[in-house]
Amino acid sequence: MEDRETEEVFEALWTLQENGTPPTIENLSRIAHLENPSEVIIKLVENGTLKEKEGKVFFTPESEKKAAEIIRRHRLAEVLLHEVLAIESPQMESNACEFEHVLSPQVTDSVCTFLGHPPYCPHGKPIPRGSCCSKFQVKLKPLVTRLSDFQPGDEGKIRYIATRVHPRMGRLSSLGVVPGSMVKLRQKRPSFIVEIGHTIIAIDQDIASNIFVQKTS
């Protein structure tokens, strides 16, 4: 991984390119979260990590690949915080900024798989694909999925219940739907019907999509 300053410059340059803003040193310095950005940019151009042409800065093929990974970590972190942990901006953004520097490639792929390889971040911007996403097409199934993505007959262990509605969670927990319980999906239509032990419960699709399950069979 690159150092933190480099990563901030990569992120800023990627954002500029995506928005179609001219990637001048001036523009870059404005949006990069750094104390003296122009110094760092000049250093990166000098050591060949970035290219400069007529006052504009560009990626080299290698640095572009690295930048894509940073953006991917940042946006996946946003999805994780927003959709699963139900954390709203601005905490979502500030935390995602920290995540992008610390996630290792393995953890990033696990998060991506856990989230079901989301194509867009909560702001609607595309998430660069990782190696796990293409494997997904062939064989890799996500470790943890939403109960709503289960097929009838699938069984699994509840890992997490993400809901902003607290009474809903209280009602579910008193019926035995808590992390650690084993569930079996019986059918998806006309309602979601799940078995927890010998208790059978019918729930809405929205509630099923709040329940994250690790498949066992």
Partner 1 sequence: MPAHHRRRRRRFRGRSFPASLPRFVLVGNPNVGKSVIFNLLTRRYASVSNYPGTTVELASARTTLNRQPALIVDTPGVNSLIPMSEEEMVTRDILLLEDPRAIILVIDSKNLRRGLLIALQLAEMGLPFLIDLNMEDEAKSLGMKVNVSKLSELLGVKVVPTVSTHKKGIKDLTDLIPQSSHASYPISYRPEIEEGIAQLAPLIKSSRINKRAIALMLLAGDRSLIPWLSFQLSREAIEQIDNIRSRIEAKFHQPISSLINQQLLQVADEIIHKVQKEQKRERRNWQEVVGRLSLHPLWGIPILLFVLFLVYQFVGKFGAGTTATFMENVVFGKYINPWVTEGVKYLLPVKFIQELIVGEYGLVTMALTYSFAIILPIVTYFFLAFALLEDSGYLPRLSAMLNSPFKIIGLTGKAVLPLMLGLGCCTMATLSARILDSKKERILVTLLLALSIPCSAQMAVILALLAGISFKATLWWGGTIIAVLIGTSFASSRLLPGASPDFIMELPPIRRPQLSNILLKTGSRIMWYLKEAVPLFILGTLVLFVLDKFNVLSYLEKVASPVITQFLDLPSRATQAFIVGFLRRDYGVAGLYMLAKQGQLSGIQIVVSVTTLTLFVPCIANLFVMLKERGWKVTSLMLAFIIPVSLLIGGLLNFILRIFAVQF
* Residue among 140 and 196 whose Cβ is closer to partner 1: 196
Q: Is 175 in the site for partner 1 (CB under 8 A)?
A: yes
Q: Is 20 in the site for partner 1 (CB under 8 A)?
A: no
Interacting span for partner 1 (CB under 8 A) from 34-42, 47-55, 128-136, 170-178: 170-178
Angle, helices 37-46/4-19, rounded to nearest 10 degrees = 90
* Residue among 139 and 198 whose Cβ is closer to partner 1: 198
> In whole angstroms, what is the distance from residue 63 CA to residue 48 CA?
10
Interacting span for partner 1 (CB under 8 A) from 33-41, 75-83, 88-96, 187-195: 187-195
CB-facing half-sphere around the CA of 176: CA atoms within 13 A:
13
Cβ count near 148 (within 10 Å): 18
Distances (CA, A) of 193 to 160, 168, 180: 18, 17, 19
Cis check: omega of the bond before 190, within 30 degrees of 0? yes
Q: Is 88 in the site for partner 1 (CB under 8 A)?
A: no
Identify the residue among 169, 209, 214, 215 touching partner 1 (CB under 8 A): 169
Q: Which residues bind partner 1 (CB under 8 A)?
A: 85, 161, 165-176, 178-181, 186-187, 189-191, 193, 197-204, 207
